[in-house]
Amino acid sequence: MDMINVTINGVSYSVEKGCTVLEAAKAAHIDIPTLCYLKDINEIGACRLCLVEVSEGGKPFRMVTACVYPCTDGMEIKTTSPKITASRKMNLELLLSNHDKNCLSCVRSTNCELQSLCREYGVDSSRFGGAVNQYAIDDKTPIIRDNNKCILCRRCVATCAKVQEIGVIGANNRGFDTFIGSPFDSALETTSCINCGQCIVACPVGALYERDDTDKIFEALADPAKHVMICTAPSVRAQIGECFGYEPGTDCEGKMVTALKALGFDGVYDMNLTADLTIVEEANELLGRIQNGGVLPMITSCSPGWIKYCEHYFPEMTENLSSCKSPQQMFGAIVKTYYAEKMGWDPKDIFMVSAIPCTAKKFECGRPDQSAAGVPDVDVAVTTRELGRMIQRAGINFKALPDGTFDDPFAIGSSAGAIFGATGGVMEAALRYAAEVITGSKLEKLEFSEVRGVEGIKTASYKVGDLTVNVAVASGTGNAKKLLNMVKNGELDVQFIEIMACPGGCVNGGGQPIQPANVRMNMDLRAVRASVLYNDDAAADIRKSQDNLAVQKIYDEFLGKPNSHKAHEILHTTYVKRGL
């Protein structure tokens, strides 16, 4: 590694040749403010907040943008000075001059990178008057765009184009009239947007946010005629604490359960149950396809963002998708059929809520063929962020809560269901089940480490009895595109594929608590958050879906056997070849 010498604020440092001023400062543990910068995703020097002064070869100091300016040997760098402070303040004022400053009602208030920098630099207004752009809010999808809040940083554009490789948003018009939107200023609902929400977690301000459905839940909770139930996805318990100041990677399952009961839900359930149910159905579907010459490779169907992506971009491969509903939809379907029958309730009187890390789940609730009891399987899906706001709005002191436990009869979930929240988790859970079914003997080692980790694409081959199963895992639709093209071109021979729309899986979902760019760049949130799920798995008593007695009971009392006709009517679904 070639090194060069630079001086930062009068102190000498040795830094890697070719690094930027921003990277050199980071290596020296010096923070330089940014708004538009996302490492390896958006490095364009647009916001001008990272301005610093540099001198090269003894020449006078001049202003450059630290995020894109390369270091040279002997460079002198000043990251703070009266001139730098004045320039940064002016740029903040310029941003505010065309910005909707209704901060008190903004969903990002107190968690807004622009707001934080204005507070840091003492900027509470703008001395620049004149014209202010006004935009209609695009609110017809789960992803809502308010360009009145947009600062044109283009982080959302870069994430959509470079990470997800979808590119349904970009810069329209020029100069002062520039705004971010879909081509020809069309509504987002008319595009091939998959509602993954990665644009939301990239946005530094309140220009992008999810549709808030919390009022619908509060209304249902106040209706004595409704049986209001909630199930929580595994990654929600691993991230809900971030809404209340806990460090990423803190498991807050017990406090979350207690908070949900304090909100007044009639039943607080663990979605791990139907993650296990999904594994039983999906693994049997896979074995059936392998043994009976079905369409291969079979691809998992738990991620609704991925499903919509496949329908738009790979419609010819919708036949490869598992017909299983996602664990969210299976839960609602079981509650409104099996449980309604046991309790003597009309399914119309059940209001089913899911707490999820995913904005695309809101779209999934309204998909066709997701109504096993003649009514929607799930009435409302709320993100981890929305759930946090509900708890705050109800005046519940989250940190002071004791730990609670999930309610029967859906309290049992294996840790195989828990690891669904991390990329590779569905694959590993399915392998734990399929290996025992094929060999007829107990697995000695339950960890399938080859499919773990945050790499975008992973492949592995397993010998199970007389059967060799080749598998692949991808997270992020950009990686999904690469993987599926490899399969289509004959470069990769696999029988089973897991795909998650969000990079790293649900732990990095578009509905998770938003962390500022400096946290996202200095910490691998995907790995830190996933560690909660894998720690739970290692410590669990039940680690395989087939050992879940509650799932066995549902089959014994209601469904009969995996992939039965009744199971298909209730737990399986169909897809649409949307195309572009």
What's residue 241's pLDDT?
98
What's residue 346's pLDDT?
98
Question: Omega of the bond prior to 409 within 30 degrees of 0, cis?
Answer: yes
Would strands 143-145 and 170-172 be described as parallel, antiparallel, or unpaired? unpaired
Chain mean position to CA 184: 28
Residue 2: other Cβ atoms inside 10 A: 7
> What does each of the 580 residues of the chain score in pLDDT, given as a tens digit?
799 999 999 999 999 999 999 999 999 999 999 999 999 999 999 999 999 999 999 999 999 999 999 999 999 999 999 999 999 999 999 999 999 999 999 999 999 999 999 999 999 888 998 899 999 999 999 999 999 999 999 999 999 999 999 999 999 999 999 999 999 999 999 999 999 999 999 999 999 999 999 999 999 999 999 999 999 999 999 999 999 999 999 999 999 999 999 999 999 999 999 999 999 999 999 999 999 999 999 999 999 999 999 999 999 999 999 999 999 999 999 999 999 999 999 999 999 999 999 999 999 999 999 999 999 999 999 999 999 999 999 999 999 999 999 999 999 999 999 999 999 999 999 999 999 998 899 998 999 999 999 999 999 999 988 889 999 999 999 999 999 999 999 999 999 999 999 999 999 999 999 999 989 888 999 999 999 999 999 999 999 999 999 999 999 999 999 999 999 999 999 999 998 8
181 contacts 172 by C-beta, under 8 angstroms: yes
Map out the domains of the chain as residue ranges. Answer: 3-80, 107-210, 215-571
What's residue 466's pLDDT?
86
How far is residue 53's CA from residue 177's CA, in Å, rounded to a whole number? 31
SS3 447: coil
Locate 113 and state its tokens: 């990178």
Would you identify the CATH topology of the domain 215-571?
A: Rossmann fold (3.40.50)
Report which of 580, 7, 1, 575 is spatially closest to residue 321, judged by C-alpha positions.
Answer: 575
279 contacts 545 by C-beta, under 8 angstroms: yes
Q: Where are the beta strands (DSSP E) in 38-78?
A: 51-55, 62-65, 76-78
Locate 416 and state its tokens: 């195989």
- Amino acid at site 519: V
Would strands 179-181 and 170-172 be described as parallel, antiparallel, or unpaired? antiparallel
Which residues are bridge partners to 468 per DSSP? 463
Which residues are bridge partners to 330 per DSSP? none
Return the CATH number of the domain spanning residue range 107-210: 3.30.70.20
DSSP string, 485-501: HHHHTTS---SEEEEES
Task: Measure the N-to-C terminal CA separation of the chain; round to a whole number of Å.
Answer: 46
What are the backbone angles phi and psi of residue 368, rounded to the nearest 5°?
Answer: -70, 160
What's residue 467's pLDDT?
87
Which residues are bridge partners to 172 per DSSP? 179
Return the CATH number of the domain spanning residue range 3-80: 3.10.20.740
